[in-house]
Amino acid sequence: MRHIFLLPLVALAAACTVGPNYAGPPQATSAGAPPAGFVRAGDVARPDAPVAARWWTTLGDPTLDALEERALAGNPGVAVAAARVKQARGALRLERANQLPSVSASGLYAHAEIPGIDLGGSGSEISALNLYNVGFDASWEVDLFGGQRRTTEAARANLSAAEADAADTRVQLSAEVANAYVSLRDRQQRLALTRQAAELQERMLGLTRQREAAGTASALDVERLQGQVQTTRSQLVPLAAEIEAYLNALAVLVGEQPGAVDALLATPGAIPLPPASVAVGDPAALLQRRPDIRAAERRLAAQTARIGVAEAARFPRLSFMGIIGIGGTKPSALTDLGNISAIALPQLSWSFLDFGRNAARVGQAEGARDEAEAQYRRTVLAALQDAEDSLSRFGHRRESLAALARIKTSADRAATLMQQRQRAGTATLIDALDAERQRVLAEQNLTAATAGLTTDYIAIQKALGLGWQAQ
């Protein structure tokens, strides 16, 4: 009790925390006007804030919605990210526990035969000694300069980074599923249109051969059409192979073996269309929402805390150890309260002469912090570039799609007029079939552009960091 006055001094010293305090992420972009893409996107971008979770429902495709839910529930990558969050949470609990004393219980029996020493006065050259003891021991290192507190701070930041990584995994996964689904629907439609075009060309080839036999067409006309048929037919095989590849990819993305979603997706469906405009919010909200930016910022906070860990190692360390036990040379001594023994062992250690080792550790930690800060800046700039590029591509793709839609409408009218002329006897069947072939070609181009527009819309959602929600 006479040393109780030392406790306030220990508590005061333990309140000291060395190392820099984290003051938030650095300014990664110039203040003022938003990036150009948020302005020149025109009517493509709306300033209202987007909804972070389940963005794919805006495409209005129930099959895609079902695939997304299956993927988020069963994809192994999501499970890996969740396991890493669990590990980081356990690491944080461990560091918190390291701030507290550790207590353990022990039991001891020792038997020794010592020659040349007569412990019992028996005159024997060899004396036997039995020792029985049970007790408790406790140890605690006082966090004088905040090294353990900084370690806990770093572990807390690492947990937040792991949670952000898990959210980013969901963002990436939802975009991959949507892209694979759109590509599958695109290839299915293009396969059907290519078959239709090949059938039309084969009919034209048959009629041209009849005209050649009648002397009204040349062998060159036959060879030219035959080459077109072979070219069109050659496109069927890679399209079929791509369809199978996208089916396998979707099965794996939902966490199942290849072939598991074939029955669900065997029937061709329409390519889902995005809305006319996209809610993007503002750049500041983008930086707060994207999980990869949040993860980079949390890693910067963790590296800043580790500087304090390295700084604390340069100062003295104070630890306490206490032992209390009961025992003696006979088993009956374990029940005799008069045999209680207690030991208190305070220890102060200080590596004041380490030839620059701790200074080197501090420099290493500062370098790691500088690297994390540069990584954060790079992540922010890459995120802004993603948003800029995806908005620009989406806007230009809309213009291209509108032009192809007009071409498709014109081809439809031309095919209809040619059919009317053929029925009136002013055009041949070959002319009508060729007009129909042109219509199918225009539809193929429009289908590819539609898939491209939806893919660009998906890229916007990914660039905005959408597809996750706080757990």
pLDDT, one tens digit per residue, over 229-281 is 888 888 899 999 999 999 999 999 999 999 999 999 989 999 999 988 787 77
Tell me the pTM: 0.83
What is the pLDDT at residue 238? 93
Name the more confident of 200 and 187.
187
Report how far apart, in Å, the C-alpha atoms of 41 and of each of 56, 277, 386, 393 are.
21, 10, 13, 9
User: What pLDDT band is residue 470 in, cutting at 50, 70 and 90?
Assistant: low
In the chain, % of residues over pLDDT 70:
88
Q: Specify the range with the lowest mean pLDDT, choosing from 90-99, 101-110, 309-318.
A: 101-110
DSSP line for 349-394: E-----TTHHHHHHHHHHHHHHHHHHHHHHHHHHHHHHHHHHHHHH
pLDDT computed for residue 7 by the predictor: 47
- Confidence at residue 91, expressed as pLDDT on a 0 to 100 scale: 92
Residue 1 scores a pLDDT above 50: no
What pLDDT is stored for residue 159 in this prediction?
95
Residue 119 has pLDDT above 60, yes or no: no
Least confident span in 39-53, 103-117, 182-196, 279-293: 39-53
pLDDT band at 345 (very low <50, low <70, confident <90, very high): confident
CA gap 64, 307 in Å, rounded: 47
- Between 350 and 295, residue with greater pLDDT: 295
Closest Cα to residue 45, out of 457, 386, 379? 457
Residue in 289, 298, 305 with CA at minimum distance from that of residue 160: 298
pLDDT of 5 reads: 44
Cα–Cα dist 431/441, whole Å: 15
Question: Is the pLDDT score of 286 beyond 80?
Answer: no
- Model pLDDT, residue 83: 95
Residue 164 CA to residue 142 CA, distance in Å, equals 33
pLDDT attached to residue 157: 95
65-79, 251-265, 422-436: least confidently modelled range: 422-436
Residue 174 pLDDT greater than 90, yes or no: yes
Planar angle of CA 164, 169, 173, nearest 5 degrees? 150
Q: Which has the closest alpha carbon to 271: 173, 180, 198, 194?
A: 180
Please give the pLDDT value at position 37: 52
| Residues 6+ positions from 328 with CB-CB distance below 8 Å | 131, 132, 133, 334, 336, 339
Edge-to-edge strand order for the sheet containing 317-328? 102-115, 126-142, 317-328, 340-349
Domain range summary for the chain, segments of one domain joined by +: 45-100+153-309+365-463
Q: What is the mean pLDDT of residues 40-47?
A: 62
Range with the poorest average pLDDT among 38-52, 210-224, 248-262: 38-52
Q: Which two tokens stand for residue 194?
A: 């290519």
At 77, which helix (H) or strand (E)?
helix 76-97
Band (pLDDT 50/70/90 cuts) for residue 126 is: low
Range 45-100+153-309+365-463: architecture per CATH: Up-down Bundle (1.20)
pLDDT at 88 over 50: yes
Per-residue exposure over 443-468, b if at least 16 CB sit within 10 Å of its own CB, e if not? bbbbbbbbbbbbbbbbbbbbbbbbbb
Tokens of 170: 């969901």
